């Protein structure tokens, strides 16, 4: 569903991502982690077609994001770390606008259901300018879900959410994966990965240092507490990477 092959990205000669290859199948949730500047956002933004790759191929639901950008985007929902909304539009107008952009007929029932699931029904006619940060985040996620994309990309999805919101988004992500979506989540919250992800990729300085199923990664460490196990794996990989170790695939 998501297939990235030998992807590299340079910004004016600086290599932000180097020779990255991985895939995410339907139902899988890949957790992308790595220190600041590791290349996570660059990878997600390239998969969305916001920035072009320098080399390599990136496929979304069978469509090359450079060769067939519209078909790729029709199958994609992207929630950036700082979603930009239209301050002078209401919550409902955002959903209607999104439906028009994706040419969705009869979107109303699905939109109502999304508002209910994100506890936004009572804010239906409120200008997004007058929403809290967490509510704005939920509007962005509801819009990204509306066309029922096969691929979902989340950059730091829990920023600004309250515990109830966090639980709601986690459940929504799980439901989408169960329904067959391929999902990538970038975050610094290891506990989020432990609760949600089927696979993990650790990036450091633009290179993949580890990629594989979560259970394989955790079994290496042999912890019963998976949050601290993930933490241990993360630090051992990123510190080893700093000392120049090779990429490992589990
Ligand atoms: N437009 C740009 N021009 C030049 N360099 C850039 C640009 N965007 C990102 N970079 C550089 O590319 C590298 C990777 O950045 P990126 O935003 O992908 O990292 P990240 O893993 O998402 O980091 P964080 O966890 O801090 O969000 C960084 O060194 C960053 O400074």
Q: Which residue range(s) make up the domain with 95?
A: 83-148
The residue whose CB lies within 8 Å of the most ligand 1 atoms, and thus the one to mutate among 39, 154, 207, is 39
13 plus 121 within the same structural domain:
no
- Could you read off the pLDDT tens digit of each residue along the chain, which spans 250 residues? 999 999 999 999 899 999 999 999 999 999 999 999 999 999 999 999 999 999 999 999 999 999 999 999 999 999 998 888 999 999 999 999 999 999 998 999 999 999 999 999 999 999 999 998 889 999 999 999 999 999 999 998 888 788 888 888 899 899 999 999 999 999 988 888 887 999 999 999 999 998 999 888 888 777 666 667 788 888 887 776 566 544 444 4
143 plus 154 within the same structural domain:
no
143 plus 168 within the same structural domain:
no
158 plus 142 within the same structural domain:
no
pLDDT for position 220? 76
End-to-end Cα distance, the chain? 20
CATH number of the domain bearing residue 68: 3.40.50.300
112 plus 229 within the same structural domain:
no
Tokens for 131?
A: 């929403």
Alpha helices in the chain (DSSP H): 40-47, 69-74, 91-101, 108-117, 133-145, 163-178, 190-196, 214-221, 226-242
127 plus 218 within the same structural domain:
no
115 plus 168 within the same structural domain:
no
> Closest Cα to atom 8, ligand 1: which residue?
42
CA 232 to chain centre: 23
Burial level of 209, CB count in 10 A (0-12/13-18/19+)?
buried
Residues with CB under 6 A from ligand 1: 11, 14, 16, 34, 36-42
Ligand 1 atom, smallest distance to 12 CA: 4
164 plus 243 within the same structural domain:
yes
43 plus 166 within the same structural domain:
yes
Q: What is the ipTM of this complex?
A: 0.97
210 plus 228 within the same structural domain:
yes
In this structure, how many other beta carbons lie within 10 angstroms of the beta carbon of residue 124? Answer: 14
The residue whose CB lies within 8 Å of the most ligand 1 atoms, and thus the one to mutate among 7, 9, 41, 50, is 41
**Which residues, 6 or more positions from 201, have their beta carbon under 8 angstroms from its beta carbon?**
22, 30, 31, 32, 33, 208, 210, 211
170 plus 238 within the same structural domain:
yes
127 plus 156 within the same structural domain:
no
């Amino acid at each position: 569903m998501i297939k990235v092959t030998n992807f590299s990205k340079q910004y004016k000669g600086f290599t932000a991502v180097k020779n990255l290859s991985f895939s995410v199948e339907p139902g899988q949730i890949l957790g992308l982690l790595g220190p600041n500047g590791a290349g996570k956002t660059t990878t997600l933004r390239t998969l969305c077609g916001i920035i072009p790759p320098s080399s390599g191929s990136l496929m979304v639901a069978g469509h090359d994001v450079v060769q067939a950008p519209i078909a790729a985007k029709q199958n994609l929902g992207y929630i950036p770390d700082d979603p930009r909304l239209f301050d002078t539009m209401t919550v409902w107008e955002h959903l209607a606008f999104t439906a028009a952009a994706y040419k969705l007929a009869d979107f109303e029932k699905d939109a109502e259901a999304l508002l209910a699931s994100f506890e936004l029904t009572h804010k239906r006619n409120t200008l997004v300018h007058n929403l809290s940060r967490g509510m704005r985040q939920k509007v962005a996620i509801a819009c990204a879900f509306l066309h029922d994309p096969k691929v979902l990309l989340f950059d730091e999805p829990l920023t600004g959410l309250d515990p109830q919101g966090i639980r709601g988004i986690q459940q929504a992500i799980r439901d989408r994966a169960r329904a067959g979506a391929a999902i990538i989540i970038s975050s610094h919250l290891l506990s989020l990965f432990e609760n949600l992800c089927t696979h993990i990729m650790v990036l450091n300085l633009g290179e993949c240092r580890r990629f594989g199923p979560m259970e394989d990664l955790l079994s290496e460490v042999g912890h019963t507490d998976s949050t601290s196990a993930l933490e241990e794996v993360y630090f051992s990989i990123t510190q080893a990477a700093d000392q120049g170790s090779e990429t490992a695939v589990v």
